[in-house]
Each structure stands twice: as C-alpha cells, then as structure tokens.
Homo-oligomer: A and B are copies of this chain.
C-alpha cells in the first residue's frame, strides 16, 4: 500500500473504536489528508468500524463523479491518470485517485515506480492518491473499493478516478463501480480485437487511444469507430466517444476531461446516473448481506447448532437440506 500524501500504515492506526469515527470523518471533511488515509486503511482492513464509517459517510453519497480507468499493461494508464488529474485540477475540481493493483498485496515494483510520478501532486491539497491491493478477494476489485470511494466522496472530491489493470474481471468490475468508464488502448497492441472479445465495448463510455503519435494509431481509431458503428443502440442512448491522446506529452488530456464531462451531462439528462448508482448500491448491499451471513454461519460452527446438526446428518437421522433449513432459522435470531 502506498500513499503519496499522508500515508499511515494500518499498524500505527490508533482508531479502532466506532466512537472515534465521527471525529475522523469530520477531520477528513475538513481536508485532513491523514484522516482520509486512515479511513481508507480502516475500510481496507475490513475493520469492525466499517459500519460506523459507512453510516458517517452516508450523507455525502453521490457527490463525486466516479470515473473508472482501465486498459492492458503498457497502454499508459498511470501517465494518463497523472495528466488527467492535472487537467481536472485546472478546472478547479478536487480529485481522488484509487489505483488498484490486482496482483500484489503490496504496492511495489513497477506500480510504485509509476506512482512516483504522482508526486507531481503530492503537495496539492486538492488531490488524494491511494494505491489499494485487490489480492485475496474474488474477482479483481477489493470489496473495500466502494467504501474507499465513499471516503473520498466524503472528503469532498468532485471526481474519483479508479484505475485498474484491464485483466480478468477487474475491468468489468470497475465499470460496475463507475459512473463513467474510460478504456485505454494503444496502437499496435491488437487491443481493438481483444476489446470485442473481452466485452469491453459494452463497458466503455469513452475510448482513449493513447500513444496516438505512433504508427497504427489511425487504424486503431478506425477499428474502434467501426465497432461502435456496428453496435446497436436506441435513440438517446450513449454512443461511446473516441479520444486520441499522447498522455506523456499532455496532448489530448483536455479532450478526455471534456468527454468525461459530456458523459456526465448525458447521465444526468437521461436519469441514467440515478439508475447506475442504485444498481451499484443494490450490488453492494447484497455483497455485505452475504458476507454477514457467511460470518454468522462461521460463528455457528463454533457454537452448538451446526455440530449437532452435522452429527444428525452423519448418523442418518436427518438430511443436509433439512439441516440447512434448521440452521437458517437459527441464523435469523
């Protein structure tokens, strides 16, 4: 876990009690970067204070535009994120960045190297940057990611960028989390064809063809536009935008910011923002509920009910379905 501005390792965090949470949230709201970092550490560690944090943050839900940014390794995600932060800051927005590393429990190696460039923003009080691990969770994104987004919303961010490597499930998951999803491609990586295969066409609101000064950029743009043209969409439906960029030189980054704004306008106009966010909240509630139930079953394992039922099943006195029903009535007390 790296944190350019104001990192505090979990072990050093004294806040472990729910009663301390409102104070911490107040400090985060007042712009205290250390408080923001602590809150994210707490939600990331699945701390028992999670419900209290969620409750304290609830009033600020939906205040930020959540932008997902995904793409294969090497397309320039970190550089694009870095320049996009700059462009959004120039527009006066407060920006949060969550960089999800799907492969490592620690943010080291290449990712840390990339992050170093983020130090451009290290002294800017209007920018929060945080790397999060996704290891140990099913799928690509951590279960804590939606809560971390809420922390950044609560801290007053107007935009939260969630950056994930587009491998496996992560890109689909980031789309389900985001209001607007950017898919980054680069010329000559065969990405356009892969995009169709991976179902990226369905999740991308904006395609960014980065490294657009390279050979093959025109062909990549043409391929994507061809695919978009083939896609069926009803009247008023969003037509994915295609933006060229050379992020390393800052070129096209204002166009990306403009495309994000345009999509935001479309979302609001078509009541799609509300619909997406309600769907997201529903998935989040479901996941929490299932987690609670699994934990309750776990605690019953140590109690008397499950062992007794298991003994009955093993002895042939009842069957596992009947026993599961009995267990379920136990769970609900």
A: which residues have CB within 8 A of B? Answer: 50-51, 54-55, 57-62, 146, 274, 277-282, 284-286, 288-290, 292-294, 297, 301, 306-307, 309-311, 313-325, 327-329, 331-332
Contacts and interface: CB of A to CB of B under 8 A. Distances in A.
Contacts of A279: 310
B62 A315 contact: yes
B51 A321 contact: yes
24 contacts: A50-B321, A51-B321, A54-B321, A55-B322, A58-B313, A58-B316, A62-B315, A278-B313, A280-B310, A281-B309, A282-B306, A284-B320, A285-B309, A285-B310, A285-B313, A285-B323, A286-B306, A286-B327, A289-B324, A290-B290, A290-B293, A290-B294, A293-B293, A331-B332
Is chain A's binding surface mostly helix, strand, loop or mixed? helix
A80 to B, nearest CB: 29
Contacts of A327: 285-286, 289
Contact of A274 (B54, B297, B314): B314
A319 B301 CA distance: 29
Contact of A286 (B282, B297, B315, B325): B297
A36 to B, nearest CB: 18
A320 B62 CA distance: 13
Contacts of A322: 51, 54-55, 58
A62 B310 CA distance: 12
A324 B294 CA distance: 13
B293 A281 contact: no
B277 A314 contact: yes
